[in-house]
Amino acid sequence: MYIIPHNFLVGLNTLDLDIRRAAETIGWDARRAFDRLPMLEPGDFVAVGPAFSRNPAVTRVGPVKTKQGGAMPILSAPAMIGAKRAAELLDIGDLIEASAGDAEIRRENAYPPGLKGVRTFIRDPSFPLAARIWDALKPLYPKGAAVVELASALGIESGSLENGLALLDSFGVLHFSDAPKSRAVRIMKDMR
């Protein structure tokens, strides 16, 4: 395995998250990083990597020797445009359509978490099948049924049955057991 060597220069850091990340990057423990990194002077860096040193070392970067080649750009106010031209540039129709979509997302996110879960559950394509499976398993509590027999009793092919079982199982309401000859399923205790 070939590892590309990296060189790092870490300067003054004062934010906790930045100090922790810098410590991981240069190989220092967090305590040492919290002691040293916030105290670095401008121009001082901790250097580590093949171009500098195998162990992190404090180094000073001298003054800049090169000058900017171009001139400073001249800033000016934008030209005034009318409402019609602004509407053309912004494509108001697309913005209104996108805003309508955003409104639906905001409405969905405003629901309490439990209601969001229920809405997700009933919108799943396997929901009608899951309801049939649940109705078939309720009277069989606490014993349950073999998955093969359940598919036969409901007149459902096994692949479709597995989708409905997976949906119910995602909410933690089913218990599966592997019998020697076939897998069995039952409703979890206190779910009936």
Residue 180 DSSP symbol: S
The highest-level CATH class for domain 124-187 is: mainly alpha
Q: What pTM value is reported for the model? A: 0.41
pLDDT of 179 reads 65
pLDDT band at 184 (very low <50, low <70, confident <90, very high): confident
The residues near 40 (Cβ < 8 Å, ≥ 6 apart) are: 11, 12, 13, 46, 58
Residue 138 DSSP one-character state: G
The answer to whether the CB of 146 falls within 8 A of the CB of 182 is yes
* Most confident listed range (89-103, 123-137, 165-179): 123-137
64-83 pLDDT tens trace: 777 777 777 778 888 888 88
What's the pLDDT score for residue 5? 64
